[in-house]
Structure 1
Amino acid sequence: MSASPDDAAPRDPLSGLVAAYTPRFAEFAFEPGFLAAVDQHVAAVRERLHASGPELELRPVDREALADYALGFTDVLAENGWCEPVGQDFAVCRLTAICWLVHRHQLLAA
């Protein structure tokens, strides 16, 4: 018996991003420009998730909010036919930043 689409478990975009983009962290060692770009993307994602105003101390990232953001971002990439380039583009930097936030805040931990 095959499962219907309604029986399917919801997509977890964070675990897929972690699997795909954690290897990109190795590029930080020899591409400081990539590290700087990802750092800027981390700040931008944090700002989007905490758009309530400027803060001096960093708040923890909410797993569900980050997952929703990641799902929306990857859906737009898919709709536009984006293919991951050999190097880095805006999307690679943003996806790597999301992955970094998952690791930093241990959002896949049980």
Structure 2
Amino acid sequence: MNALGDAQLARMGRDPGLVAAVDQHAAVLRDAIPLDRETLGDYLLGFLDELRHRGWVFGDEPDAPSLRLTAVCWLTRELDLLEDGLAA
């Protein structure tokens, strides 16, 4: 959340196109996995492992991986899945 989520979530307030793209990724996640803390956390860890394996680095412009990560952060906030409101 600290590395990418906070900035991307703030950017969503100024960029309707980003909102739409993140919403599409969130819909894929809603259809694919149960949206509970443990499952979403496990998904995120696996996704990040794959991104590290591929050498992915977040750039200035949103790409598919950053949109998916932003969707995970957005869902985490929307569903109040952060423990005691602490950053993930």
Runs of 4+ in 1 over 3 A off after TM superposition: none
Unaligned stretches of 5+ residues in structure 1 = 1-17, 51-60
What is the CA distance between 1:66 and its match in structure 2?
Answer: 0.2
Partner of 1:23: 7
Higher helix share: 2
After TM superposition, the score normalised by the length of structure 2 is: 0.86
1:48-97 deviation per Cα after TM superposition (whole angstroms, max 9, x unaligned): 104xxxxxxxxxx2110001100111000000000101110001100000
| Structure showing greater Rg | 1
Aligned length: 83
Unaligned stretches of 5+ residues in structure 2 = none
| Aligned-partner residue type, residue 100 of structure 1 | W
1:7-65 deviation per Cα after TM superposition (whole angstroms, max 9, x unaligned): xxxxxxxxxxx222122112123321111000000101111104xxxxxxxxxx21100
Partner of 2:69: 95
Distance 2:50 2:83 in 1: 27
